[in-house]
Amino acid sequence: MNEQIRTMIHHKYIEPTEKKREMCIGVEVELPIVNLQGKATDHTVCQKVFLKAIRHFGFEPVKYDFHHRCHEAVHKETGDIFSFDCSFQNFEISFGKERRLQDVDYRFHQYLAYWNKELSITGHIITGMGVQPYYNQCSKQYIPNKRYQMLEGYLKKSTLWKKEGGFHPYPAFGTFTSSTQMQLDVQQDQLIRTLKVFSLLEPVKSLLFSNSVMQQEPDYLCARDMLWEFSTHGINPRNVGMYDTVPKSIEEMIGYIAYTSIFCTERDGKYVFFHPIPIAEYFAKKRIEAEFYQDGHYVPVLIEPQWEDLNYLRTYKFLDLTARGTIEYRSLCTQPLKETFGGIALQLGLAENLYALERLFHEDTILYHHGFSAQELRKMFNVGYIPDLIDRNALIEQILDIVRLSEEGLRKRGYGEEKYLGPVFDRALRLSSAAKDMKEYLAKGRHLNEVIREYAEL
């Protein structure tokens, strides 16, 4: 690896973890807006409510699409951001940094109560699901701005490019999928340990928080993993999902990042994209064949790599080290609204009680030691399959122990955040998830709209 590349990666990703900081939480929640008539979500309704909401809560518009429609607004005091992610039917709230979950939860309830009151006038609703339940009827158009039209072109290359395992037929999946993400500050001496321990937690999170059901993919409780893995994002498997092998040191982490792939940058005010190239190889190239969007089609262009392009490296791993000195936890589907903070609280408490969780996995004989890796287990659990080698009663007890460790960690924090674990204990006892519940409800004859409304309750 070129020494300059190593130095740049260290500066961007490792140096921020050297700073001593008080633990802060960043929460982002994406939420589908659903038309209760079972038809396509009306994007004009979404845009009108967006404008009413930013006026009501005192947000300031900051970004517009090519048709002068606002798709992002910020509240300067809290740092909260309202935006549409990829599509006008996928609403996102990015909360400013906070120390306590209750502060985020309070505003979340205020925002969603207002949004759903306004949306109900036109028969729409925001619900807590990881896939837009009427995605088949909905528009698959990306928001027309520079970044999203670049992303649309890049994902549609699945019809021309090749990857191991092939591609799924849903290049517009970004317009109808939603997730919940959390960022936590991490210190350098805890970075590798955190990645290793939380990677072992991923199968448990699948069992408890799967909530992305697709009519065309009936086997999946959590289709989101598959949608990312078998898209152009997954051409380089290091860019998505779990670590095949967690780096054992900071130097190995730098090497891992060096062989994740860049697929876009900007030139002359235009977003350009290209076949993904590992960073360690990208800067050795003289010219790269790229494309950019212009007047309804994609135009080829040759670009020369520039060192500043490292700023455009973007990966989508379940545990993503960011340039802010945080780990972004990305593997949670959007949950039923009243359970939104359950998965976030679980991870927060376990990060606080990391050594105890490490000991639990070190002594484990229930999940592991049967020949399955964490990655293999998560894939199986995503389709609702638990191997017979795993004792279900023992598994329930182990998951309950994990939730109790999180409860201990949250109590150490002293803010009363352990109250958010109530629904997580319930799911652990039933070895169930929102997706599994949803499938059982529908199998018993409940109408999909009933589930949509239930998952929209605050």
What does the pLDDT read at residue 20? 84
What does the pLDDT read at residue 246? 95
Question: Which helix H or strand E contains 124, and what residues bound it?
Answer: strand 124-126
- Mean pLDDT confidence for 314-324: 96
Is pLDDT above 90 for 335?
yes
What does the pLDDT read at residue 391? 97
Question: Which helix H or strand E contains 442, and what residues bound it?
Answer: helix 434-443
Pair 217, 131: CB distance under 8 Å? no
Is pLDDT above 90 for 186?
yes
What does the pLDDT read at residue 227? 98
- Mean pLDDT confidence for 407-416: 98
The 10s digit of each residue's pLDDT in 216-254 is 999 999 999 999 999 999 999 999 999 989 999 999 999
d(CA 110, CA 132): 22
* Cα 378 to the center of its chain, rounded Å: 16
Instruction: Give the torsion sign (CA, 79, 83, 86, 90).
Output: positive
Q: What domains does the chain contain, in order, with CATH numbers?
A: 22-246+317-454 (3.30.590.20)
What does the pLDDT read at residue 369? 87
What does the pLDDT read at residue 95? 98
Q: How far is CA 451 from CA 155, 224, 253, 437, 445, in A?
A: 31, 19, 43, 9, 11
Burial call 30-50: b when 16+ CB within 10 Å, e when fewer: bbbbbbbeeebbbbebbbebb
What percentage of the chain carries pLDDT values higher than 90? Answer: 97
Closest by CA position to 348, among listed 408, 396, 397:
408
What's the pTM value of the predicted model, to 2 decimals?
0.96
Q: How far is CA 169 from CA 76, 129, 165, 231, in A?
A: 40, 21, 13, 9
| Cβ count within 10 A of residue 311 | 14
Pair 335, 342: CB distance under 8 Å? yes
The 10s digit of each residue's pLDDT in 64-82 is 999 999 999 999 999 999 9
